[in-house]
Structure 1
Amino acid sequence: AGLAGALGLDLGGLLDRPGARLDAPARLGELAARPIQTNGDALELLDELALHLYQLLAGRDFDPASIPEVLALTLGNVGDHGPLTATLTYACRELCPNLDATTDEIRHLLAGLAGRYVPAGPSGAPSRGQAHILPTGRNFYAVDPRAVPSPAAWTVGSGLAREVLARHEQETGAPPQRVAISVWGTSNMRTQGDDIAQILALIGARPRWHAQSRRVEGVDLIPLAELGRPRVDVTVRISGFFRDAFPHVITLIDDAVQAAMHADEPEDQNPLRRQYLADLAGRLADLPPDEAAARAAYRVFGSAPGTYGAGILDLINEGNWTGDGDFTRTFVNWGGYAYSAAEHGTDARDDFRARLGGTQLVLHNQDNREHDILDSDDYLQFFGGMIASVRHLSGTQPLRYFGDTSNPERARVRDLGEETLRVYRSRVVNPKWLSGIRAHGYKGGLEQTATVDYLFGLDATAQVAHDFMYEGVAQAYALDPENQAFLRRSNPWALQAITTRLLEAQGRGLWNPQPETLHDLQNLLVESEGLLEERGETARPSGGGA
């Protein structure tokens, strides 16, 4: 932002519309030595200038006294350097020494193993603007569950909720009534509760914080007149770690659900109350009143107490599935246990099916750019498993939105298909990533295998991959001469696993390959099996596991 300001640019405007035409000052073209015609061109120039600034500082050992010289060499006398100078000074005096202290990771690990003191420090993601957690290598602490969601998380999460509602109305002409969201514990530790804030905002409730401690004392329903829209009926699938780490938050969500269900409001403005009354009068009418009321209010589900995971990865790795029915059975059996203020893991698989069967929109959020949806099996298990279950139980493919809060000030909501395509283009078939991962030898081959496995698994559950994606992966991973030679040399098991998985995608109808590609993969599979036999080895398991 300081660099953009020094050049007379509005960084927010550039980020909002990267493809828009830009009436750029002549000075920008001189700095870039090329025409600057769009906001995207200006953003690219800002990246280049920032890199140049840090390269010059690195050549001067990040000496704060060299900042004026570095700015003059890079920008000349253009603009106000005040904010930029402050940023570079912080980088020299704080960030650089803290990053140089990464050697503390080994030193403190050895100290901990020897029973000696390890300094404490906060957890978080430096790439998300949390530079205060540096240096790494400390005995990190997480977050007070009673302070979740924080006021900052409320700002981000309520913004995400607005983005979701606006996008759904733009695509369908109406706001969503029933939504399901997958929530993890680790991400909410990093964000202090973005997901929880989004859930509360969709319901139409806001946290109530203690003025001094900033702990959450409860929730208040936002009046419909102030809310300006109908409430949303939200079903939450929590991870096992979230269940263990945030019992207070489960109670908080349940309080919001109960308040909404018992609010004296028109049913067309309160889908939670409408569904609650419909369940009491229909699906649960034959049960004792207390049991029926409890089951009609279940909205938070997870794995049974003491258990973890969603079970989908084992199903895919063993090939023991034929369609959405198998994914649904596993997803519900593993995650159909209800949690509330009064219940802790009650078997409620029938209620979970009912909730999923009426879902219109499935959500998941990612809070940083240190990983993506195709380098962890958790996305295909929790997010993909939920999508497949809703599709099977409702008979309709739900809308699938992926929230990106890697920049908390500019939270974005994308369709899952858009996000998959973004990751495919930016990493999966990016020659720079492939070249870099090959430097890691055997582990590089394993990472390639995992990427193919996770693309396959996410497509099997969420139906997001196009034929050209599989074709691109086949050409870049299995059939590219350079990469194939790398795998033959460094990890022949990975070569066989990648080839096998791609052929499985074709066999299951997920991919209709070009005839020559299919022929080449079939031949490669035979060759890879022969290569392993020559080495006296059997195939090792592919990628799996986050």
Structure 2
Amino acid sequence: MKITITAVSVPALRQIQAFRKRYEQQYPEDDLTIVCFYVAGQEQRYVLEPERIIKDIATADVAVVDTMGASEELQEIVAKGLEACKGHRIVIGNALRDYIRLGSFSMGAMGKMMKGSGGKKDSGNVSGTSGTDGAEVSGNGEKKSSAGALTKMHRMRRMAMMMGNVLPFGVTRDMKNVFLLIDYWQQATRTDMESFMHLILRQYGGRKFLPKEKPCTVEYGVYLKDPFSMETWDTPAKFWKKAAFDSQRETVALLFYGHSYPNDFLPVVQALAEKLGERYNLLPIAFSQNEDGDLKKLRAFLTQKKTPVSAVVNLMPFRLGAGPMGGDAVQAVEILKELDVPYFKPFCLTRVSGEEWERADAVNPGEFLISILLPELDGGILTFPVGVMGSGSTEGEEPVFPQLEPIAERVDIFVARLSRRLELRKKKREEKRLAVIFYNYPPGESNVFGGAFLDTFASASRLLEGLKEAGYDTEGRFPEELQEVFVTGGHCNLPQWCEEGEDGITWEFEGEEYPIRGICVGNVFLGLQPLRDPEGESGDPGRYHDRNRKPSGEYQAFYHWIREGFQADAMIHFGTHGTLEFLPGKDNGMTGSCWPDQLVGEIPHFYYYYIGNPSEAMIAKRRSLATLVSYQAPELKKSGLYGDYQELREMIGEYRESIQSAPERCGDLLLNITKAGKNCGFLEGDSGENCSEKDLDLLEERLYEYENSLITDGLHEINETELNGLVYGLDGGYVPVGTAGDVVKNPSILPSGRNLVQFDPRLVPTRTACERGMKAAQLSVEAYHEKTGTYPDTTALILWGLETSRSQGETIGQILYYLGIRLKTEKSSYDDRLEVIPTEEMDRPRMDVVIHICGFFRDMYPNLIDNLNAMLRQILRLEEGPEKSYFTANTRKMAEELQRSHPEMEEREVWDLASCRIFGPKEGEYGTRFTDIVRKGSWKDAAEIGSSFTEDLSYGYSFRRRGVKAEEVLAGQYDHVDFISQVRNNVEYELTDLDHYYEFYGGLARAVENKKGSKPVMLVADTTGEAVKVQDLKSSLERGIATRLLNPEWIQGMMRHDYHGVQQIAKRFENVMGFAASTDAVTGETFSRMTRCYAGDEKLRKQMQKSNKWAYMKMMERLMEASNRGYFEATEEELSQIREAYLEAEGEAEE
């Protein structure tokens, strides 16, 4: 008899291995062959050599398969073996469940039984361990337990057991045995696995001489379990009689799996329990085989008045109360709110060894989702690994299966960080010492205390006042006082912080004395984050973002002083964003060798972050171990019309009236309207013809768009809600979570002041986002077809973490449209939501795409990268002709080129590389050098911009590759690009408001032009309104410049904030320059209007020079640079205005 076991469960495999040794000793003459494949850590090996695993499964009398979490490729390989297997087939988990066949029972029979008993035909998950099929998703993305997979699974199991007991023969006996075998497998104790084998061998292998199987040791629900003695209790009162509760100690609850499937967490649980037990009362709560009443029981355990809990540590993956089979995460969060204690979420890495983890750049996508992202939705903090798989070997006849081991250093630092957080609950406010950190990047007097949408000086002033009112030992400071300290006199750039003769803060670090640039106001330190690499700031721009370059000595000394010199009780980074979270180290799952982890140390870390930037917020949360506290954007208002635009509207109104009242005036009015329309940039051409009725409609449409565009009204100042959120966290309480995103489209993300989390990536794209993205793509294709008479071969798109989080997947919707993919109409599991549309159902060819991602998208949405690659593979398998699928045609062409240029490459690798369509920065990097090049004005010609973009974003993310250099393939794809598209999905940002727009969109445009020798069509999909619109880039830029940068209303709002207002305006000048350099879409007239507005208006000029002369000088430098580079032909008067304004500001600066 041959039994082939293909599994991810180490405990089960280890017990099977031990059973085989005992069996061979006890029954040496029995012809029993047991073949084991451990596939959790050996996937790639079996993917590359699939023949053996397929053969051994196919020839088995009994095939046992447990591939929970395995790759699609491995599932396909195992499926081939199961299809060919004539024997019994036992499948644990959701994947491949339809292959179950034991005796006369099969999943088809189960489906018929369920249908006959009133259930749905879908057989559901028979194990309750993995997958999401059958789980009903509620409006907020949580799975409901009442009518979901959890209830269905319990119902199926009860029915199977009942019928098997009543009719212990035939199909009902076999159905009961399936569930019994799964129970044994999931417990994986010696007794259970012995019973597992005895049941198979006795009932399906004819070994009647073997002992009958024993009842399963499974424990259901939630219970108290000593992780050392294994003793269990059903109430805390009984437990504390044995554990001896110490009323002088705080109590920490430790949540963990009570079973050992698919991995035995016990060694890590014991390590944590031992360390925690040295300082606290430990309440060990075990979970096994989820039941509907678990959360009520958990609440009862955690809310005992006589033994109050001060912290909850959860070592289990997924959301609390909502595992892979669903549940009620909302109720679990309510329990956490009621407890109001910190909720800690360390985790274990179950698919890599310690050595592999040392080399890895990040947690793998599957474990990232269940161990980092989903727990964050509950408010989990300190999400880093404390356990990892040990070493093992599957070579030889006696393989050594690895098991989870604690990472001793991580366990120690976790307990130390937990202790420091709990100290916040005990220490009086007036005794707490707080370090508040502000930024100065790019370095210089113009950018001190920078922060997205934030008047940071005013906010810092409010923070001091609020802390004082809350009882902290500090004093208030006016914004002007703080500006005087940190800006005036250029102290931020002097080698020493203080003027000669003044006492300043210094700190010796590694034998060198460093200035600590900041001030102490009572027990609150306000400091400037040092430059991470001073040489990189003044030299090669690439050095500043070099993830292999450690921070400067001053940078290290600064954080060392906060920890050891100032002895801060908490650290607060203020505003979006600093550089700590971008220091060298892993993308997530931080280790002791990661620089952010080292510099934060044990100190509780809080971070004020902009509510509308989910992508960068998550990097800050995960890489710097921060509890985020959100702040809002400024209020919005309508742009209105001014100057030429107001005059044009009045002329059109006068013309409409004159048609009836004074038709003789219409000709002159049309002539003036035509001139005004050209002056406003709405009409093109030099002919003397007056505008037509169609032109008038266009003008009115553009004026309406401009007038009703929403603009930000100045900058935000930290409000009471946001201050209270921070103070609440500093008190050691549970900071409730709030989704980061678009406040206008989703007001429910308010109020601010909460711990920011990202939208659940499993729900991206939402159906609404997909439909809007597809509409944008349809309009883009129609615009291109109308212009050229052909369909575009390839579209290039920018896929951002920011846009994806805020729109919930509109760009994904575009990509799906171009490729001919759609969301399934019926409910599906998270990873099975898409399907390829047959070309017969489309009225166009299947197009090709080039997708450029940023590092934030890579880190936030690894599941979407996998899903897109999986769909590309499906399309390729259709083997469609070149006239039907441009994607397939281009892939075949690239494969032929790769085979010629790389004959040594295996065919599998050739096709994987040829079909790669997702390109981004290498692992550990997030963007490009383009913004630094523009900031420093260091490019010699436009081609240099495109080359740097291609070089920085030419790392392929394919089905098999992650961040591998693929410039040859990318260049080949650029040859086919006909147009590029960028989604603008939120009203807070016009294209000219954010440098990343020109960095990615502009850089891509120049890169494609470099390769093709001609400009691609450049389109912008504007989804800010109810109706999706598609515009050319030039029109979109002109709207942003007209409604904001040149709009008196917007300027007035900014200038209310003096220093920071000019700071923000200067950034827009830089962004305009970036677009001019990369796309040639900024007209000379635009630069002339900027000159007239900011250099020619004496009142505004004087106000800006007084408020922030350093930023104003940079604005004038940009205008002069634009003239020197030929972006506009400045008149002598304009040049004179620029020079005079610059010299005035320079004189002020020297004073």
TM-score (norm 2): 0.37
Match of 2:798 among 178, 182, 196: 182
| 8 A contact 2:894–2:969 mirrored in 1 | no
CA distance in 2, matches of 1:165, 1:424: 27
Residue 853 of structure 2 is aligned to residue 238 of structure 1: yes
Deviates more, 1:185-194 or 1:244-253: 185-194
Q: Which residue of 2 aligns with 1:357?
A: 975
> How many angstroms does 1:193 deviate by?
1.1
| 8 A contact 1:200–1:256 mirrored in 2 | no
> How many angstroms does 1:284 deviate by?
4.1
Aligned in 2, Cα 1:335/1:475: closer, same or farther, shift over 3 Å?
A: same
Secondary structure at 1:182 match in 2:
strand
> How many angstroms does 1:392 deviate by?
1.1
Secondary structure at 1:364 match in 2:
strand
CA distance in 1, matches of 2:1079, 2:697: 35
Q: Which residue of 1 aligns with 2:863?
A: 248
| 8 A contact 2:934–2:1073 mirrored in 1 | no
Aligned in 2, Cα 1:474/1:277: closer, same or farther, shift over 3 Å?
A: same
> How many angstroms does 1:38 deviate by?
9.3
Q: Which residue of 2 aligns with 1:443?
A: 1060
Give, as a single letter, the amino acid of the residue that structure 1 aligns with 2:1013: G
TM-score (norm 1): 0.77
Q: Which residue of 2 aligns with 1:223?
A: 838
Match of 1:127 among 727, 731, 744: 744
Match of 1:271 among 881, 886, 892: 886
Gapped regions of structure 1 (runs ≥ 5): 1-17, 23-36, 49-100, 536-546
Q: Which residue of 2 aligns with 1:330?
A: 948
Q: Deviations over 1:365-399 (max 9, x none)?
A: 01110111111110010111000111111100111
Gapped regions of structure 2 (runs ≥ 5): 1-651, 657-695, 709-717
CA distance in 2, matches of 1:126, 1:364: 21
> How many angstroms does 1:352 deviate by?
1.7
Q: Which residue of 1 aligns with 2:721?
A: 104
> How many angstroms does 1:211 deviate by?
1.6
Aligned in 2, Cα 1:531/1:104: closer, same or farther, shift over 3 Å?
A: closer
| 8 A contact 2:980–2:1016 mirrored in 1 | yes
| 8 A contact 2:816–2:822 mirrored in 1 | yes
> How many angstroms does 1:231 deviate by?
1.1
> How many angstroms does 1:189 deviate by?
1.3
Residue 1016 of structure 2 is aligned to residue 401 of structure 1: no
> How many angstroms does 1:126 deviate by?
2.2
CA distance in 1, matches of 2:929, 2:978: 23
CA distance in 1, matches of 2:763, 2:1112: 48
Q: Which residue of 2 aligns with 1:414?
A: 1031
> How many angstroms does 1:113 deviate by?
3.1
| 8 A contact 1:102–1:135 mirrored in 2 | no
Residue 482 of structure 2 is aligned to residue 482 of structure 1: no
> How many angstroms does 1:262 deviate by?
3.2
CA distance in 2, matches of 1:191, 1:424: 24
> How many angstroms does 1:269 deviate by?
2.0
| 8 A contact 2:781–2:792 mirrored in 1 | yes
CA distance in 2, matches of 1:285, 1:291: 14
Residue 785 of structure 2 is aligned to residue 169 of structure 1: yes
CA distance in 2, matches of 1:209, 1:193: 17
| 8 A contact 2:912–2:960 mirrored in 1 | no
CA distance in 2, matches of 1:458, 1:307: 23
Deviates more, 1:313-322 or 1:204-213: 204-213
Match of 2:958 among 306, 320, 340: 340
Q: Deviations over 1:92-138 (max 9, x none)?
A: xxxxxxxxx9632210122123321222233321212x122222222
Q: Which residue of 2 aligns with 1:431?
A: 1048
Residue 932 of structure 2 is aligned to residue 314 of structure 1: yes
Q: Which residue of 1 aligns with 2:901?
A: 286
Secondary structure at 1:513 match in 2:
coil
Deviates more, 1:511-520 or 1:450-459: 511-520
> How many angstroms does 1:419 deviate by?
0.1
> How many angstroms does 1:517 deviate by?
0.6
Give, as a single letter, the amino acid of the residue that structure 2 aligns with 1:155: E
| 8 A contact 1:420–1:465 mirrored in 2 | yes
> How many angstroms does 1:342 deviate by?
1.8
Deviates more, 1:242-251 or 1:521-530: 521-530
CA distance in 2, matches of 1:168, 1:281: 30
> How many angstroms does 1:244 deviate by?
0.5
Q: Which residue of 2 aligns with 1:204?
A: 820
Identity, in percent, stands at 28
Higher-Rg member (1/2): 2
CA distance in 1, matches of 2:1011, 2:785: 23
CA distance in 2, matches of 1:306, 1:468: 41
Q: Deviations over 1:52-110 (max 9, x none)?
A: xxxxxxxxxxxxxxxxxxxxxxxxxxxxxxxxxxxxxxxxxxxxxxxxx9632210122
Residue 767 of structure 2 is aligned to residue 151 of structure 1: yes
CA distance in 1, matches of 2:1092, 2:900: 57
| 8 A contact 2:912–2:958 mirrored in 1 | no
> How many angstroms does 1:531 deviate by?
2.9
CA distance in 2, matches of 1:283, 1:343: 16
Secondary structure at 1:269 match in 2:
coil
Aligned in 2, Cα 1:525/1:140: closer, same or farther, shift over 3 Å?
A: closer
Secondary structure at 1:257 match in 2:
helix
CA distance in 2, matches of 1:143, 1:447: 29
Give, as a single letter, the amino acid of the residue that structure 1 aligns with 2:1102: A
Give, as a single letter, the amino acid of the residue that structure 1 aligns with 2:775: G
CA distance in 2, matches of 1:269, 1:447: 49
CA distance in 1, matches of 2:808, 2:892: 34
Match of 2:733 among 111, 116, 124: 116
Give, as a single letter, the amino acid of the residue that structure 2 aligns with 1:172: T
Secondary structure at 1:127 match in 2:
coil
Aligned in 2, Cα 1:262/1:515: closer, same or farther, shift over 3 Å?
A: farther
Match of 2:1109 among 489, 492, 500: 492
Task: Give the length in aligned residue pairs.
Answer: 445
Residue 885 of structure 2 is aligned to residue 297 of structure 1: no
| 8 A contact 2:934–2:1070 mirrored in 1 | no
Give, as a single letter, the amino acid of the residue that structure 2 aligns with 1:253: L
| 8 A contact 1:149–1:216 mirrored in 2 | no
Match of 2:1005 among 372, 383, 387: 387
Residue 1086 of structure 2 is aligned to residue 469 of structure 1: yes
CA distance in 1, matches of 2:788, 2:940: 31
Q: Deviations over 1:204-227 (max 9, x none)?
A: 0113477276x3415321011211
| 8 A contact 1:207–1:216 mirrored in 2 | no
Larger RCO, structures 1/2 (Cα 8 Å, 6+ apart): 1
CA distance in 2, matches of 1:375, 1:154: 26
CA distance in 1, matches of 2:697, 2:826: 47
Aligned in 2, Cα 1:150/1:103: closer, same or farther, shift over 3 Å?
A: same
Q: Which residue of 2 aligns with 1:87?
A: none
CA distance in 1, matches of 2:899, 2:788: 31
Deviates more, 1:416-425 or 1:324-333: 324-333
Give, as a single letter, the amino acid of the residue that structure 2 aligns with 1:255: A
Give, as a single letter, the amino acid of the residue that structure 2 aligns with 1:274: A
> How many angstroms does 1:299 deviate by?
0.3
Q: Which residue of 1 aligns with 2:993?
A: 375
Give, as a single letter, the amino acid of the residue that structure 1 aligns with 2:965: D
Deviates more, 1:184-193 or 1:286-295: 286-295
CA distance in 2, matches of 1:112, 1:428: 38
